[in-house]
Structure 1
């Protein structure tokens, strides 16, 4: 159902009409040293289930038991003890807010929200949200769930079924101009890689050649000792053949862009690992085969209009920050072998 968010103090409208979607994997990402676009697509919002904003507590002051009760099972630098359930919206979808000047702190080129809510309701002055738009951070406004209310603004939005999503095939390209790997891909692969590590049970995983090996295989080779593969990985999902029982052992499946639920293979076939739907779609249906040059010349008056494919200027690296964030919230990370991987990743320099 489409909703608008209003101030809990005076009822003034604070957003356009928005539709809920799944929380993007890149929410925890920091990328480059420039201004990034909006985290959320226009007209959408997502809910962050974890606490966010100040106060923060260092890991040494929390303890493993208290952190586990919060769903964090491996050491992290710090944890927020602010309100849980922030509503994430694109800055351009906000209305009726003003900046709180004394809370406009940032690191470099904008606001990073370190001081807490920095946006107030223009009508009553109540602090209602935190705007983040500093360099390396996806631009977003995080509405404080204790300071806003949601009101229906339209009828229920239809949830696309897997057949419809397969037909649309909305894919995110992996390479952006002028030859950079997409940060969305780096975050989505990192999030899926954490689940893939847990699903492996510590066994080395073999990955098919191609883009799947480029994005997942290299990282798995670095994280596991050298040796023969004991488990196999493949893609599975709507529009692809049903995997046979036991071959492959693990499948990457699409994560529904609206609900966040993963497509499930038939019971007893393979263990499913969720991957952002637009990244999965590209891996599943994009043809990366190169054309073979044909003999002869083009007829006169015919111009080439097909651009050459983009090639990356460096190797693909899953986003380490996203990988660590997801790993630390999987119960499997308490296994010694996976905790050792978590520790290795956490100890590496950027």
Structure 2
């Protein structure tokens, strides 16, 4: 790619297709939202061995082993080659996870001359700009360079319009490797700055009078990241399975709770019709039939644990509903409503 000619670039563009994107459960082609070209994996081959580069080490260090107590092997899977030529862009979106253990995306940018096409990453109230054109400004045909960026799949991102040239990228999906149990990884010290800080904060929390005297018996921690949830199991899906794929601070919090013998679990929190909340390990699955008395009966019949808000404490706020389930509310006419739930880390102190 470092020596690509205009004729070669035009030949590559001529065999590409317009890039679609996901909108809800549909794949759509809408150039007012995304204007780009793509080649599927079956249509190209690039002899790029990621293992021979420092890229995987950086991903392991910055996205996976954010604390040295969190050690999981990863694997990469090539996904698509995209071309953003002059005028191409992609408005804000999140990547669609291909599996439960997919945690992020790796985008490699080739050293083809271009301007614009900055990648803007946004999480909560913060944003970061990755300007590949600037990063590759010192690349030459004799000493070519690559630019790359990796990020969690739930991070909102957009590609700003390319003003000249062509921005060519190769995207990889990033997965936690299921086949490597923790016992097979080399032993390392458990005490690190991040884990020690979190353990200290947790110990101080457990010493609060309302927890010591039993007034509060349930601790809830909202997750910092979003996670894909399978909805195709009956009667429901146990969200505890997601504990193997927690990311960043969520994974560290879960580990610290385990180290403190607090028996953490992942559960779904549903807000009831009044002041009560409900916790459970299963996602509610449609169809639910006719629920005459409304949401509370639905949640109780679904096996959810009813909680008095005075006995539970939200230690960290959640980022919002983690999923929604539909149910039929029976009244003077049938209507389709939604019940929203969020996945959180839960510690039941009364069980300790």
TM-score scaled by structure 2? 0.28
Answer 1 or 2: higher relative contact order, Cα 8 Å, separation at least 6.
Answer: 1
Higher strand share: 2
Larger radius of gyration: 2
TM-score scaled by structure 1? 0.28
